[in-house]
Amino acid sequence: MCKHVLNAQVAIRAPCCRKWFDCAECHQETADHDLQQVFEMVFACKKCKKCFRKDAREFEESDEYCPHCDNHFVLDALTPKASLQVEGEDVRKDARMLKDDRVRAETEKPIFDVKDAADRLG
């Protein structure tokens, strides 16, 4: 998982060391050399796990999708942001403990009911 881009849809193979990275910053952190820039890039789709090549010189709108599964991999990168939030209790945690407040319909009365015996007997 990439800590720089939260919604990375593809992995990129670095042409210099032939290793797979989620973004250029991940390569910069782990490798001891600079990322070699080439026009033909090799991608691996994270949805269908298949590899494909794209030429950066002829990149069109139709090239924003995986040719195997049509996953849209050219998205605006979401980077993690520091935030301070108050967390509440998750309702799903104790959903099994919620009481069912619906009223149950009364069952059919038998011919002689003990509860109504005083009204019926004389």
Cβ atoms 106, 96 nearer than 8 A: no
pTM of the predicted structure, to 2 decimals: 0.53
User: Of 56 and 117, which is predicted with more confidence?
Assistant: 56
- Residue 110: pLDDT above 70? no
**pLDDT digit string, tens, across residues 31-59:** 888 888 888 889 898 888 899 888 878 87
Q: What is the mean pLDDT of the chain?
A: 76
In the predicted structure, residue 121 carries a pLDDT above the cut 70? no
Per-residue pLDDT tens over the stretch 95-108: 555 566 676 666 66
